[in-house]
Amino acid sequence: MQLRPGQLAAHLKQPLLPLYVVAGEEPLLIQESLDALRAAARKQGYSERQVLAAERDFDWSTLTQAAASLSLFASRRLIEVNLPSGAPGDAGAKALKALAEAPVPDTVIVLICGALEYRTRQSGWYTALESKGASLYVWAVKPEELPQWIGARLKAAGLTATPEAIELLVHRTEGNLLAAQQDIAKLELLHPGETLDEEQIRLAVADSARFDAFDLTDRVLLGDAPGAVRSLSRLREEGVELPALVGAWAWMLRQWGQAATHYAQSRNATAACEAAKIFGPRQAPYLKALPRVAPRQVYGWLAQASSIDLKGKSTAGEPGAWEELLTCVLAPPALRSSALAASTRERSARRISANENRAAFFWPVSARATTRDAARARAPRSFIWLLRLRGLAGAAALAAASLPTSGLIGCAGDLGLAGGATGARRCLPRARMLTVLPRHPARRQ
């Protein structure tokens, strides 16, 4: 049987099954699920616990012997097998299938894994354990679900918080639920039973947000320009290698290109994702991204990723490769949906005029006329501004360049600047203009 984290508490009130698989993408929730399973096992008389580490050279006969041997100290046992790789190999698969075919009485075996691919979750050993026992796969908490998750955790700790306080806590712990839980525990000690405001969160909680390469690609697919810039900046600060990011970026573009090709023919986003072998929760960002692009655009970005990869492998070319990756990352969020893109030439001209007025925030007076003429010549419909990163301020300015005033306010919030758009504009001079590239229509001004 398949279990969800929300169903585990009710399941553990019943007699335990002989086999469990606990895996997923969120370490905190995996650990909490295992703690609940261990507590239920102790309550039901499984007083002995044995832990096996299934590393690369693990002998799977050890598990078979441990399950078959009788204990001198307890009549019921809990055996945990840590399999971080999620790949037991041929010998491990045979051993697990044998245990599923003939479960050992008075023994509960728990296989603990990390994130597993869809293909692995459909393999013979996984389905065998699932049919005779239960599987619990913990998905990562989605960004839109994080405020509700944090609010529930605060309530469980006896705390309440204003919406602004929750939003700030989400911002500072995004992608790092372990840090979020630790910060909630700290807030419980500092302000027991209180209603937290934004200032209390700002003083007590440090910025512990963490991102990976696939967080970056998801934000690009969703059209979140400020979030994509923040993810890329944080990944670079943490020392993530450029080839790893480009690899994840190219992998996403290949899937996006395949789905876009099918979508151009069928106009059915769900069917297009399935044809590109994008299943389950992974479909959500692609469903929002497909109406915004044509296949040729995606494959153009893929060709650009190849150039970035080559440049990034040389020491001299790495800084320029980071800038090109930033350009490529910002190109998809700058595209409007197909419905909004159907505008008149007059409206396009107004957008260009608005962008020209905004140029005053980026360049000295002497450079405005030349840049305005170049923009008209090279981008008769619309264009985006590309800026060199100057710390987080430059990153926010770069994201704000393709956003309306509300985007400026959001970037100002990321920087902790007061005054909304005014605060954001103060940081814009820290970013230097590189070039002007023709793009599809930018966001509504």
Q: Identify the band that residue 334 occupies on the pLDDT scale cut at 50, 70 and 90.
A: low
Q: What is the pLDDT of residue 71?
A: 65
Cα separation, 217 vs 438, in Å, equals 23
Q: pLDDT averaged over the chain?
A: 74
Of residues 295 and 441, more confidently modeled: 295
> Which residues, 6 or more positions from 9, have their beta carbon under 8 angstroms from its beta carbon?
36
* pLDDT attached to residue 72: 62
pLDDT recorded at residue 136: 92
Q: What is the pLDDT of residues 129-185, one digit of tens each?
A: 988 899 999 988 888 888 999 999 999 889 889 988 898 888 888 878 888 888 899
| Whether pLDDT at 240 is above 90 | no
Q: Enter the pTM of the model.
A: 0.57
User: 385: closest CA among 325, 435, 345?
Assistant: 435
pLDDT of the residue at 56: 80
Q: What's residue 40's pLDDT?
A: 93
Rounded to whole angstroms, the Cα distance separating 423 from 413 reads 9
Question: Tell me: the pLDDT tens digits for 298-322?
Answer: 888 888 888 888 888 877 778 888 8
Calpha distance 363→36 (Å, rounded): 59
- Residue 37 pLDDT > 90, yes or no? yes
The pLDDT score that the predictor gives to residue 62 is 87
Q: Which residue has the tokens 């997923």?
A: 24
Would you say residue 343 has pLDDT above 60?
no
Q: What percent of the chain has pLDDT over 90?
A: 13
What are the tens digits of pLDDT across the range 367-421?
333 433 443 333 333 323 333 333 333 444 444 444 433 333 333 333 333 333 3
Would residue 354 be called left, alpha or beta, if left means φ above 0 and alpha means ψ between -120 and 50 degrees? alpha
Burial-class residue 276 by CB neighbours within 10 Å (0-12, 13-18, 19+): buried
Distance, CA of 230 to CA of 416 (rounded, Å): 14
Structure tokens that stand for 127 in this block: 């389905």
Q: Residues with Cβ < 8 Å from 198, sequence gap 6 or more?
A: 162, 164, 165, 168
Contact 18, 132 (CB under 8 A): yes
pLDDT higher than threshold 50 for residue 427: no
Q: Is-contact 220 245, C-beta < 8 A?
A: no
Mean pLDDT of 47-55: 87
Residue 425 to residue 138: CA distance in whole angstroms: 42
Positive or negative, the CA dihedral 171, 245, 385, 397 is positive
What's residue 278's pLDDT? 87
Q: 66 pLDDT band (50/70/90 cuts)? A: confident
Q: Which two tokens stand for residue 43?
A: 């309550």
Tokens of 157: 């700790």
Q: What's the confidence (pLDDT) of residue 168?
A: 87
What per-residue confidence (pLDDT) applies to 144?
Answer: 84
Q: Is the pLDDT of residue 352 over 70?
A: no
CA distance 132 to 18: 8
Task: Decide: 64 and 88 in contact? Cβ < 8 Å.
Answer: no
Q: Is 377 exposed, middle or buried (0-12, 13-18, 19+ CB in 10 A)?
A: exposed
Q: Residue 387: enclosing H or E segment and its boundaries?
A: strand 383-388
Return phi, psi of residue 249, to 5°: -65, -45
**How many angstroms separate the CA atoms of 50 and 109, rounded?**
10
Amino acid at position 324, single letter:
E
Measured between alpha carbons, how far is 393 from 415 in angstroms, rounded to an integer?
A: 7
User: What is the pLDDT at residue 23?
Assistant: 92
pLDDT at 15 over 60: yes
* pLDDT for res 423: 40
Q: What is the pLDDT of residue 314?
A: 76
pLDDT digits (tens, 9 = 90+) for 249-304: 888 899 999 999 999 999 899 999 999 888 877 888 898 888 888 888 888 888 88
Question: Residues 335, 220: contact at Cβ < 8 Å?
Answer: no
| pLDDT tens track for 98-137 | 888 888 888 889 999 988 888 888 888 999 998 889 999 9
Per-residue exposure over 240-254, b if at least 16 CB sit within 10 Å of its own CB, e if not: bebeebbebbbebbe
Q: Give the whole-angstrom CA distance, residue 283 versus residue 289.
A: 10
For residue 16, is pLDDT > 70? Answer: yes
Please state, in angstroms and as integers, the Cα–Cα distance from residue 139 to each residue in 33, 282, 283, 339, following that order: 13, 11, 14, 33
Pairing state of beta strands 383-388 and 432-438?
Answer: antiparallel
Domains of the chain, first to last:
2-138 (3.40.50.300), 143-204 (1.10.8.60), 238-335 (no CATH), 342-445 (no CATH)
In this predicted structure, what is the pLDDT of residue 39? 93
Torsion of CA 371, 377, 382, 383, to 10 degrees: -50
